[in-house]
Amino acid sequence: MIQPHHITGLVLAGGRGARMGGADKGLQNFRGTPLALHTLLRLQMQEGDLMGDQMINANRNLAAYEAFGVPVWPDSLSDYAGPLAGFMTGLERCETPYLLTVPCDTPLFPLDLSVRLAQAFEQPDTEIAMAAALEEDGQLRPQPVFCLMKVELLESLVAFTQRGGRKIDRWTAEHRTVVVPFDRPVDDARAFFNANTLAELHALEGS
């Protein structure tokens, strides 16, 4: 069982923002608050008492992110290597037994995310818990950027990236990964909607 304050939350804000015209996605406002700060606050509001520290993975405008009051770490891999580079940075810096990764562009992620992912670790061989959302077609679709993982997986991830690996699901497939469905009737259908464009962000903001 995961104990209180055993999880560090990592906000992934290190992308290029290509589909937002190159804008730094984590600094775009959602309901009057920068997305990355909104995500941090939502991590701090998580149910249970499992969350410990938080940190941000960002690759530009570092001073702006540092103003949010938590450590900010750029990728240890070069050239915007994607979310898996953020995972590796988080695992390198994490001082708790578990790391929870969440992207900055999904502002309505569940407030019981950490508790429900943590339940997967009641199975002693679990190494990673990954959220899955119910899509409009009625199918559950994994959300690989929403992962709770053991920090001892750092060595495995370093080896994977050194082999040229960049896909999250290919790395998690190498481990005992439990997919956790968020498909209860009370679950918000928008919980895992990620805003890739400014238009999508504004539409989500007004919903």
CB–CB of 127/37 below 8 Å? no
Q: What is the pLDDT of residue 136?
A: 76
pTM: 0.95
Q: What is the pLDDT of residue 205?
A: 85
Report angle CA 53, 9, 19 to the nearest 5 degrees.
135
Q: What is the pLDDT of residue 19?
A: 66
In the predicted model, is pLDDT for residue 92 greater than 80? yes
User: What is the residue whose two structure tokens read 């994607």?
Assistant: 82
**Beta carbons within 8 Å of 105's beta carbon, 6+ residues apart:** 25, 26, 35, 194, 195, 196, 201
Cβ-count burial 130-168 (b if 16+ within 10 Å, e if not): bbbbbeeeeeeebbbbbbbbbbebbeebeebbeeeeeeb
In the predicted model, is pLDDT for residue 22 greater than 80? no
Query: How does pLDDT run across 34-89, given as a tens digit for each residue?
Result: 999 999 999 999 999 999 999 999 999 999 999 999 999 999 887 767 899 999 99
DSSP assignment, residue 39? Answer: H
DSSP string for 98-132 = EEEEEETT-TT--TTHHHHHHGGGGSTT--EEEEE
Looking at the chain, list the stretches that DSSP marks H as alpha helix, in order from N- to C-terminal side.
Answer: 35-44, 62-66, 83-93, 113-118, 154-162, 168-172, 198-205
Written out in words, the top-level CATH class of the domain with range 7-205 is alpha beta
What is the distance between the alpha carbons of residues 66 and 74, in angstroms, rounded to a whole number?
Answer: 12
Question: Per-residue pLDDT averaged across 82-105, rounded?
Answer: 96
In the predicted model, is pLDDT for residue 18 greater than 70? no
Query: How does pLDDT run across 111-168, given as a tens digit for each residue?
Result: 999 999 999 999 999 999 999 998 878 889 999 999 999 999 999 999 999 999 999 9
**DSSP SS3 for 156:** helix
